[in-house]
């Protein structure tokens, strides 16, 4: 099979499954989803969990292979999720600001730069820029502790400028002297048995089969969709409110 044929087969096979699991209520009044009269809370929770998990996996995949179009598409839906969860979400507001910059306030070159500057290529993998900053802060604190009482502005500048060289020398020394590094991961995956137990429990519970009125002690009320509580009318008002404000920020 050619790549195009494989892609078409995958889409035709997976789409019905996704539609079945991710199905949402189509009843809408004034831009707001209408919940069922006697919903299955366990089934609703399962679908919401799968949907949020897919959004998270999409974000993780974008970090490994940055793509502006995919990131913007994912952020649009993530903004709706955050806004639906909390109408005063500061994260939803920051995403809206970012989208306004991408679509209207920045030039094409600046908008692309604003996206790809969020990621850092370490030589081995691509990670978020803020995670790279956390690594740098950790390294800096380690060196400061090693300097003891010899900490001055000048000594800090010299030491921080030599981080890369110090790291290269340390790695070369450890390699030549055969220093044993403790494993950070299990050599043998030990979660297979636990995963099989979880899968067995999920099959018995029948999460993706709808049983009207099914409840649990911890799920007295669970929406069928992450954006069920979001009013589209209020969302449009919220966006219009900040458009002018963002225009004068740049």
Q: What is the DSSP string of 108-166?
A: HHHHHHHHHTTEEE-SS-EEEHHHHHHHHHHHHHHHHHHHTT---HHHHHHHHHTHHHH
For CA atoms 43, 49, 52, 54, give the dihedral sign: negative
**Partner residues linked to 29 by β-bridges:** 32
What dihedral angle (degrees, nearest 10) is formed by the CA atoms of 7, 8, 9, 11? 80
Other CB atoms within a 10 A radius of the CB of residue 98 amount to 19
> What is the pLDDT confidence band of residue 25, given thresholds at 50, 70 and 90?
very low
pTM of the predicted structure, to 2 decimals:
0.72
Q: How far apart are CA 156 and CA 146, in angstroms?
A: 12
> What is the pLDDT confidence band of residue 129, given thresholds at 50, 70 and 90?
very high
CA–centroid distance for 42 within its chain: 24
Q: Would the pLDDT of 91 be above 90?
A: yes
More confident site: 150 or 19? 150
Of 161, 91, 106, which is closest to residue 116 (Cα–Cα)? 106
């Amino acid at each position: 099979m050619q790549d195009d044929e494989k892609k078409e087969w995958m889409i035709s096979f997976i789409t019905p499954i996704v539609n079945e699991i991710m199905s949402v209520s189509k009843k809408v009044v004034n831009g707001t989803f209408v919940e069922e009269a006697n919903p299955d809370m366990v089934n609703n929770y399962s679908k919401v969990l799968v949907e949020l998990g897919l959004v998270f996996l999409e974000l993780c995949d974008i970090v490994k292979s940055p793509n502006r179009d995919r990131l913007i598409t994912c952020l649009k839906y993530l903004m709706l999720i955050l806004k639906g969860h909390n109408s005063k979400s500061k994260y939803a507001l920051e995403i809206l600001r970012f989208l306004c910059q991408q679509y209207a306030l920045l030039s094409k070159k600046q908008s692309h730069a604003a996206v790809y500057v969020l990621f850092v290529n370490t030589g081995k993998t691509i990670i978020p820029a803020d995670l790279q900053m956390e690594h740098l802060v950790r390294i800096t604190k380690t060196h400061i502790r090693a300097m003891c009482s010899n900490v001055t502005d000048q000594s800090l500048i010299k030491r921080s400028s030599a981080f890369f060289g110090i790291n290269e020398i340390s790695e070369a020394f450890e390699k030549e002297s055969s220093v044993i590094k403790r494993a950070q991961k299990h050599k043998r995956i030990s979660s297979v048995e636990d995963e099989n137990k979880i899968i067995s429990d999920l099959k018995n519970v029948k999460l993706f089969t709808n049983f009207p009125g099914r409840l649990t002690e911890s799920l007295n009320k669970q929406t069928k969709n992450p954006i069920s509580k979001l009013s589209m009318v209020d969302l449009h008002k919220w966006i219009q409110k900040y458009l002018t404000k963002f225009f004068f920020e740049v």
